[in-house]
Structure 1
Amino acid sequence: MHQVPRRKLGSQGLEVSALGLGCMGMSAFYGKPVEEEHGIAVIQQAFNNGVTFFDTSDVYGPHTNEKLLGLALKGLPREQVQVATKFGTCLHADGSAEIRGDPEYVRQACEDSLKRLGVDYIDLYYQHRVDARVPIELTVGAMKKLVEEGKVKYIGLSEAGPDTIRRAHAVHPITALQIEWSLWSRDIEETVIPVCRELGIGIVPYSPLGRGFFNGKAVVEKLSESDASHLTVLLPRFQYENLEKNKVLYERVAALAKKYNCTPGQLALAWVLHQGNDVVPIPGTTKIPNLDENIGAAFVKLTEMEVEEVAAAVPLHDVAGERYNEAVTKLSWNNVTTPPLSSYTST
């Protein structure tokens, strides 16, 4: 297998593999966590094929995913790996979640992540979700101090809207925005993406395969009980009636994939990769065959006309169901704004 090519992420000097590996599913949210040895083997296989950009968060597990990645890193040359992790989503014992962006929390979260990962610095440190209670200037100001101290090399935001991105970037250059982007999640294209490109911010799409939809997981195979319970509760597009309607979209992509001599998942991922050289998707998987398939997408070449043809196979008005259920959407997404710094008084 060829080595995954590299891309510049943002305009501050960070260079990563054109395809990253989202590690979340190894420890959280999609059924039983993988065995430690297996997770390390997947990460090692990715690295051996040129994937050097690994994405985690303190909330995955919580905490166990960072520890797993830390163990895998011990077997890899640190200077050749780019580690991305996140802070800001706190899970409480009762199952509720709280978003935090206060400076004290930012510092403590970073110190804790460094210990769990077993590293001296984090290559890319994201605010996982925007805290509507704290001006973004204060949060990014705390992140800036971490950069100045050498604990963090580059900073990013996740699921932030245009106004928040601009305000954050004015405090310290934002290197990357992590946000959902796939054939069936494209609402950011007219609002968020232009701002990122204006400011020289790289884009890191998560769930670039539509939560596995476009690799046929939910259509061709029967979902496992754990996957089904997670997907149908949180994601309306996987609920029975919507899924039946959405299968038509998968079948259109599958037909095009035959034409381009690749799998449906590879075509969907290649479409994301073709959105620009500033785009670095981070598909997640727990299985080496799926990892190898995803890596193959980096070598699928499409013309501009073919990219448009793939997009046309999944018209957004044909997608049945919202991106998330109402409860999750309310938690904090890219329509959240933070109070202006001038009016803020800490409680």
Structure 2
Amino acid sequence: MKYRRLGKTELDVSVIGIGTWQFGGEWGLQFTQKEVDAILDKGQELGINLIDTAECYGDHLSESFIGDYLSRRKREDWIVATKFGHHFHERFTRSDKFGAKDVLEQLDGSLKALKTDYIDLYQFHSGPDEAFDNDELWTTLDKQVQAGKIRHLGTSIGSNDNLHQTEASTKVNSQVIQVVYNRLDRTPEQRVFPSCERQDLGVLARVPLASGYLSGKYKPGAVFDSTDVRHRHDPESTRQKLEEVERIAREEVPEGVDMARWALAWCLRHPAVSAVIPGCKNPAQVEANASAAELVENEG
């Protein structure tokens, strides 16, 4: 495994993290604690130290799985990132809750679910600029940092070209940007990444496999059933993506290299990116994801 400094947080994170949206049930899979333990144990065995979750991945369900695991392991071995701002109702249904009082309640809920007394990275979760520009929210969060409940603040931008929230990061003491970035969507390279580099913000690249399109498993014409999140995507857009993936596999991926490994390492080539946070269904996928670090050039 390789590690990078997460911007001005000074945390050293594994370049491959573990995204945990799937634990909330919205991938059409229901996980058991034993399955989650196996995934996280495999991650630690391979040198991964970064877990990314959110309070709305199944109404603290993902956090609860992680918390149960952490309660039986060394908490300090992990950098735990979670998010705030939404209330989970049912699959794919959430309501915004970005008020300062609401966020304090969410923070306490996350700490309880995670069975910890501190969160390493607490992120504003894909909210509108109006909610972000609330001074009371950030003043309240700063007090929680001072109280030791939060080590660092971050922002998970909803639009991967949200320059407003990125540019305002230093002002509100947000030290990390989480953004959609992958070989099919390079938008952040234009404006967001240069701003992150100027401010020395850490960058977490989410959806690095483009919702699995860059896994190399699917050909043009693939159909996803109703339990799969990709079933909700526009069919024409899906067709175009899979045709582009086929071209990338043919023209860019070196012969003999697994496409998913290549796609994760591709994200990490950009100097702004600290880590990628792919999801995973089982320990074998964790192992495959972690192996992408071998394709990342040694630094420093």
TM (norm. structure 1) is: 0.78
> 2:88 & 2:77 partners in 1: Cα distance?
32
Structure 1 or 2: larger strand share?
2
Amino acid at match of 1:164: Q
> 2:63 & 2:8 partners in 1: Cα distance?
27
**2:58 alignment partner in structure 1:** 61
Structure 2 counterpart of 1:97, from 88, 94, 98: 94
Deviation of the 1:145 alpha carbon: 1.0
Amino acid at match of 1:154: H
Structure 2 counterpart of 1:276, from 267, 271, 277: 271
Question: Is contact 1:137–1:168 with CA below 8 Å preserved after alignment?
Answer: no
**1:49 alignment partner in structure 2:** 46
**1:197 alignment partner in structure 2:** 197
Q: Structure 2 regions of 5+ residues with no counterpart? A: none
**What is the 5 A alignment of 1:105-120?**
105-120=102-117
Deviations 1:89-148 (A, max 9, x none): 123479753222221112111111000000010000001122444324332222111110
**1:319 alignment partner in structure 2:** none
Larger displacement relative to structure 2 (156-165 or 217-226): 217-226
Larger displacement relative to structure 2 (119-128 or 270-279): 270-279
> 1:98 & 1:88 partners in 2: Cα distance?
8
| 2:209 is aligned with 1:249 | no
**2:71 alignment partner in structure 1:** 74
> 2:86 & 2:177 partners in 1: Cα distance?
16
> 1:89 & 1:141 partners in 2: Cα distance?
19
Give 3-state SS (helix, strand or coil) of 2:123's partner. Answer: strand
> 2:225 & 2:277 partners in 1: Cα distance?
25
> 1:80 & 1:302 partners in 2: Cα distance?
25
Larger displacement relative to structure 2 (279-288 or 131-140): 131-140
Amino acid at match of 1:294: N
Give 3-state SS (helix, strand or coil) of 1:175's partner. Answer: strand
Deviation of the 1:85 alpha carbon: 0.5
Give 3-state SS (helix, strand or coil) of 1:38's partner. Answer: helix
Larger displacement relative to structure 2 (253-262 or 290-299): 253-262
**2:207 alignment partner in structure 1:** 207
Deviation of the 1:245 alpha carbon: 3.3
> 2:28 & 2:147 partners in 1: Cα distance?
38
Amino acid at match of 2:71: K
> 2:93 & 2:23 partners in 1: Cα distance?
22
Structure 2 counterpart of 1:143, from 141, 155, 170: 141
Pair 221,149 (structure 1): closer, same or farther in 2 beyond 3 Å? farther
Deviation of the 1:164 alpha carbon: 2.2
CA RMSD of aligned residues (A): 2.4
Structure 1 counterpart of 2:28, from 28, 31, 42: 31
Deviation of the 1:302 alpha carbon: 6.5
Deviation of the 1:278 alpha carbon: 4.0
Question: Is contact 1:140–1:168 with CA below 8 Å preserved after alignment?
Answer: no
Deviations 1:52-72 (A, max 9, x none): 100110000121100001112
> 2:66 & 2:179 partners in 1: Cα distance?
21
Deviations 1:269-313 (A, max 9, x none): 11001112642110001122221111111111469xxxxxxxxxx
> 2:278 & 2:221 partners in 1: Cα distance?
19
| 2:19 is aligned with 1:22 | yes
Pair 221,111 (structure 1): closer, same or farther in 2 beyond 3 Å? farther
**2:292 alignment partner in structure 1:** 297
**1:130 alignment partner in structure 2:** 127
Pair 251,81 (structure 1): closer, same or farther in 2 beyond 3 Å? same
Question: Is contact 1:87–1:109 with CA below 8 Å preserved after alignment?
Answer: yes
Pair 77,257 (structure 1): closer, same or farther in 2 beyond 3 Å? farther
Give 3-state SS (helix, strand or coil) of 1:259's partner. Answer: coil
Amino acid at match of 2:167: R
Give 3-state SS (helix, strand or coil) of 2:187's partner. Answer: coil
TM (norm. structure 2) is: 0.89
Question: Is contact 1:99–1:129 with CA below 8 Å preserved after alignment?
Answer: no
**1:5 alignment partner in structure 2:** 2
Amino acid at match of 1:212: G
**What is the 5 A alignment of 1:198-237?**
198-219=198-219, 225-228=225-228, 230-233=229-232, 235-236=233-234
Question: Is contact 1:257–1:267 with CA below 8 Å preserved after alignment?
Answer: no
Question: Is contact 2:177–2:203 with CA below 8 Å preserved after alignment?
Answer: yes
Deviation of the 1:248 alpha carbon: 2.6
Figure out how many residues of one structure are paired with residues of the other and give that number. 294
Question: Is contact 2:129–2:164 with CA below 8 Å preserved after alignment?
Answer: no
**2:150 alignment partner in structure 1:** 152
Give 3-state SS (helix, strand or coil) of 1:188's partner. Answer: helix
Question: Is contact 1:123–1:154 with CA below 8 Å preserved after alignment?
Answer: yes
Question: Is contact 2:49–2:79 with CA below 8 Å preserved after alignment?
Answer: yes
> 1:125 & 1:253 partners in 2: Cα distance?
35
Could you say which structure has the larger radius of gyration?
1
